[in-house]
Amino acid sequence: MKPVLSVALSAALAFSAAACNKDAKPAAVSDGAIPITANEKGFLPSEVKLQAGIPAALVFTRTTDSTCATEVVFPELNIKKELPKDTAVRIDIPTDKAQTLTFQCGMGMYKSSVVIASK
């Protein structure tokens, strides 16, 4: 009996070479809900600034299947939410204290942040 060698692994590694990009866009702040788009570039905007003491929420909408951002994870908040395509998913952000929160895709890519500044 001989073990069968496979070259599938190297092919898989080459396939995963696509990198997460960062792109910053100004966010529209209206009722405290800030729209975030999840597309092939990651989360747009990838940095959101909030003010402590003012209630805020992010509303995520995934617009493409060509992304690994099919869910969003806030590690510090223990929040993990599926992002169904073309569906707004609202996540309330605690603004009781100044801090920086990370959000990212389920694989820990598309690193993005919510910066909560003190008054």
Q: Which stretch binds Cu ion (CB under 5 A): 8-16, 62-70, 78-86, 91-99?
A: 62-70
Sheet holding 71-74, edge to edge: 47-51, 112-117, 99-105, 71-74, 79-82
Among 29, 79, 98, 109, binds Cu ion (CB under 5 A): 109
Instruction: State yes or no: residue 107 binds Cu ion (CB under 5 A).
Output: yes
Q: Please tell me the distance from the alpha carbon of residue 104 to that of residue 16, in angstroms, as a whole number.
A: 17
CA distance 47 to 114: 6
Q: Is 70 among the residues that bind Cu ion (CB under 5 A)? A: no
Check residue 41 for interaction with Cu ion (CB under 5 A). Answer: no
Q: Which residues of the shown chain bind Cu ion in the complex (CB under 5 A)?
A: 68, 105, 107, 109
